[in-house]
Amino acid sequence: MLRTIFAVGLMAILGLVALKFIFGIFGFLFAVLFMLFIIALKIALVGLVVYFVIRVLSPDTARRIRQKWSGA
């Protein structure tokens, strides 16, 4: 039983070391991808707001935009 407890503890420590190693090497890549995701999300939200404003002020223009993007 004591050997099982030590084995579980050793695996947990090895897992933490592996995670630190992986995120240490690829940390910059994850940061860049996350930053690009945040920028893309902001652009999408601005586009959504602009579309809803157009939809309220000019429904015909919004309909043409919808038809252009849907391919119909």
Q: What are φ and ψ of residue 58, in 5° steps?
A: -145, 85
Q: Tell me if the pTM is above 0.75.
A: no
Residue with tokens 């601005």: 46
* Below-70 pLDDT ranges, the chain: 72
pLDDT at 11: 94
Helices (H), 1-72: 2-57, 59-70
| pLDDT of 72 | 58
Domain count, the chain: 1
pLDDT at 66: 85
**What is the span of the domain harbouring residue 28?**
2-70
The predicted structure's pLDDT at residue 47? 92
